[in-house]
């Protein structure tokens, strides 16, 4: 069984920069799932997301000395992974629709899966800036300030993008499902 490193993220970054061969591996272990979730929601394509996460962590590994400690390590990683996603999206545009799923299993599973797919589809229809803000704030739980730092925009911009994005999502879901979505 692998022992969990007791150092906090900032200490691990400092140790990595100082040459500790295990420190960055611990950061990767701690944050890979969250970065994957951000990348998947940003790219809306598992292959692009996987490539972006890999690009992001390689970039973070190489640029660790540029981490100044102004923000949390997770905020810094979010910024790098989101930028890697945007780079990937600029190079390749996804051409496939959402995959079809066999939803005939259990009713509850069916309903939650349908809602999740409907939200994912609606997210793909709103402007990228709004989608990124909503993904970071509403889905990943970052504060407005952390999302602003990640996307390198003002906090007010994040707030307005989230508000416009939520309104657009509500409208798209209402159009699809009627007034039950508010």
What's the pLDDT band for 103 if we cut at 50, 70, 90? very low
Among 45, 60, 94, which residue terminates a domain?
94
Residues 110 and 90 occupy one common structural domain: no
Residues 41 and 73 occupy one common structural domain: yes
For the cut 50, the answer to whether the pLDDT of residue 106 exceeds it is: no
Distance CA 121, CA 156 (A): 26
Residues 4 and 90 occupy one common structural domain: yes
Distance CA 125, CA 79 (A): 23
CATH of the domain at 31: 1.10.1740.10
Residues 86 and 108 occupy one common structural domain: no
Residues 76 and 135 occupy one common structural domain: no
Q: Which residue has the tokens 């040459």?
A: 19
Residues 128 and 87 occupy one common structural domain: no
Among 38, 61, 94, which residue terminates a domain?
94
Helical pair 46-62 and 73-91, crossing angle rounded to 10 deg: 130
Residues 34 and 89 occupy one common structural domain: yes
Is residue 113 situated within a structural domain?
yes
Select from 116, 153, 113 the least CA-distant residue to 137: 153
- What angle (nearest 5°) sits at the alpha carbon of residue 20, between those of residues 18 and 25? 125
C-alpha distances in Å from residue 100, one per residue of 77, 93, 105, 118: 32, 20, 14, 12
Residues 83 and 112 occupy one common structural domain: no
Residues 151 and 81 occupy one common structural domain: no
What's the pLDDT band for 109 if we cut at 50, 70, 90? low
Q: Domain tally for the chain?
A: 2
Domain of 75 in residue numbering reads as 1-94
The string of pLDDT tens digits covering residues 53-100 is 999 999 999 999 999 888 889 989 999 999 898 888 877 643 434 344
């Amino acid at each position: 069984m692998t022992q969990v490193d007791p150092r906090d993220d900032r200490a691990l970054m400092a140790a990595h920069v100082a040459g500790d061969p295990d420190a960055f591996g611990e950061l990767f272990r701690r944050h890979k799932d969250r970065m994957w979730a951000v990348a998947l929601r940003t790219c809306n394509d598992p292959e692009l997301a996987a490539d972006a996460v890999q690009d992001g962590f390689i970039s973070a590994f190489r640029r660790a000395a540029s981490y100044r400690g102004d923000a949390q390590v997770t905020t810094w990683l979010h910024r790098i992974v989101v930028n890697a996603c945007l780079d990937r999206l600029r190079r390749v545009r996804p051409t496939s629709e959402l995959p079809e799923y066999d939803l005939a299993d259990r009713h509850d599973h069916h309903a939650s899966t349908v809602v999740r797919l409907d939200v994912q589809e609606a997210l793909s229809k709103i402007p990228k800036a709004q989608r990124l803000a909503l993904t970071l704030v509403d889905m990943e739980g970052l504060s407005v300030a952390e999302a602003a730092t990640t996307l390198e925009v003002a906090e007010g911009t994040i707030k307005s993008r989230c508000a416009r994005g939520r309104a657009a999502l509500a409208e798209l879901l209402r159009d699809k499902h009627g007034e039950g979505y508010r």
